[in-house]
Structure 1
Amino acid sequence: MRSFSIHFSLKKSVSLTKKNCMSETNLVVILLIVANVLFSLKGFKEYSFFERYKFNIAGIQKGEQIRMLSSGFLHADSMHLFFNMFTLYFFGPVVIVYVGILKFLIIYVASLLVGNIFSFVFHKNEPHYSAIGASGAVSGIIFSAILFRPDMSLYLMLIPIPIPAYIFGIGYLLYTIYGMKSRRDNIGHDAHFGGAVGGYLVTLIMAPWLFEQNLLMIGILAIPIVILFILQRLGKL
């Protein structure tokens, strides 16, 4: 079983120009976190439940497409769950402020699915490959937030200085490409990358006005995506 998580904590050091999120905004994020917690806890307790709903290439190839969605609500352990939900708690409200609750949920689910599609394509010849976690969906929310607030600063564990969001975004995608090529760890880099791409693309579809306000930033964030597809085309992945 391969599991993945974002192995650092993030916190938002930005005062939103649209002020604090409304109570219902926070409620939606909390409800999404609760859904992840409840589903994951059931997976912790019931092995058969975990096996039935995890991402698994052989299972999906047999027609069990529900795994593409359900695996995003399962986690390997409590720390895996905590880091994903901690990150979602801080970045989710940023996205909701700009696009609203419904579009936020669409971005979340789309990122989850695109991340798992990337995993399926990348591992389609490995029938025993399995993965779980909301990391793809959370990666999509992170990149959606970066598109809206490229000027916000992120604090990463063990790094005492703030990092501009767009610098983090570029570095994150380049690191996932390296991880996909090297396969030296137990992290689902393909799902992370796919989720980030899903969040990036769906956000631009949902908020086309970003092309007028942040066109340069959109182009900069697209560079790692272009690099990935070139490497894929050249058979380097």
Structure 2
Amino acid sequence: MDNNIVMFLIIGANALVSYKGFNDISFFRKYEFHIGSIRAGEQYRMFTSAFLHADVMHLVFNMLTLYFFAPVVIVYMGMLPFVLIYLASLFCGSLLTLYFHKNDYNYRAIGASGAVTGVLYSSILLRPDMTIGLFFFIGIPAYVFGIGYLLYSIYGMRAKNDNIGHTAHFGGALGGYIITLSRMPEMIYDNTLMVVLLLIPIILLFVLAKLGKI
């Protein structure tokens, strides 16, 4: 069986659930991440919200990112570790979001970005020399994209002008980062610079939170 079939199943699930959410606001509201509802006992939202998206562009961006980076994780670590990283990053993203916004009962968020960022971070650790085609023709190092993505997420958290779960990006990145290094600890010695670089935006988030800037 083609190991990539799991990735395509995940993309399909995201597409189907998101499409339903685009056309059914009651469905969208029932399964989105909502602090008040979660704290009232609807913990399933911490999982289901990761299959909803704000619009088609949000969905396409997340699924394209997954499509480009998931095969690296699958090739180097296998299908089951990929699924573990995806799901663990999803839940880490939701848990960090709940931690940061636990007292904001009106906070809402959606998107697979936490899970996808975990896969992104894992793939960068596995292939630090990898480059990606930004807008399909501008080649940049993958680690620049990954770090820039999290730095933009800090801006998104501060701006609070959309419904995208920017906080989940950090939880997801941390999940993918920790699981990958725990399974392949030799990276800490073989690729120390990249291990440190990828940790910088995560540390920055917690520093800014401690200072009350987020």
Q: Which amino acid aligns with 2:56?
A: S
After TM superposition, list the pairs within 5 Å mapping 1:152-191 onto structure 2.
Answer: 152-157=130-135, 160-184=137-161, 186-191=163-168
Larger relative helix fraction: 2
After TM superposition, list the pairs within 5 Å mapping 1:141-220 onto structure 2.
Answer: 141-157=119-135, 160-184=137-161, 186-220=163-197
Task: Name the SS for the 1:232 alignment partner.
Answer: helix
CA contact 1:103–1:206 (8 Å) conserved in 2 = no
Task: For 1:124 and 1:219, locate their aligned partners in 2 and report how far apart those are by CA, in whole Å.
Answer: 29
Indicate the percent of aligned positions where both proteins have the same amino acid: 58
How much has 1:204 moved relative to structure 2? 1.3
Q: Which runs of 5+ in 2 are unaligned?
A: none
How much has 1:186 moved relative to structure 2? 4.9
CA contact 1:151–1:164 (8 Å) conserved in 2 = yes
Partner residue in 2 for 1:59: 37
CA contact 2:109–2:163 (8 Å) conserved in 1 = no
Q: How many residues align?
A: 214
Partner residue in 2 for 1:91: 69
Task: For 2:111 and 2:204, locate their aligned partners in 1 and report how far apart those are by CA, in whole Å.
Answer: 26
Question: TM-score if structure 1 supplies the norm length?
Answer: 0.82
Q: Does 2:111 match 1:125?
A: no
Task: For 2:152 and 2:26, locate their aligned partners in 1 and report how far apart those are by CA, in whole Å.
Answer: 34
Aligned alpha-carbon RMSD (Å): 2.0
Task: Name the SS for the 1:162 alignment partner.
Answer: strand
CA contact 1:99–1:207 (8 Å) conserved in 2 = no
Task: For 2:84 and 2:100, locate their aligned partners in 1 and report how far apart those are by CA, in whole Å.
Answer: 24
How much has 1:184 moved relative to structure 2? 4.8
Partner residue in 1 for 2:9: 31
Q: Judging changes above 3 Å, is the alpha-carbon distance between structure 1 residues 59 and 154 closer, same or farther for their aligned structure 2 residues?
A: same
Partner residue in 1 for 2:58: 80
CA contact 2:51–2:112 (8 Å) conserved in 1 = yes
CA contact 2:153–2:166 (8 Å) conserved in 1 = yes
Question: TM-score if structure 2 supplies the norm length?
Answer: 0.90
Give deviations 1:36-61, integer Å, cap 9, x for gaps. Answer: 12222333343332222111111100
Task: For 2:65 and 2:143, locate their aligned partners in 1 and report how far apart those are by CA, in whole Å.
Answer: 17
Task: Name the SS for the 1:154 alignment partner.
Answer: strand
CA contact 2:47–2:90 (8 Å) conserved in 1 = yes
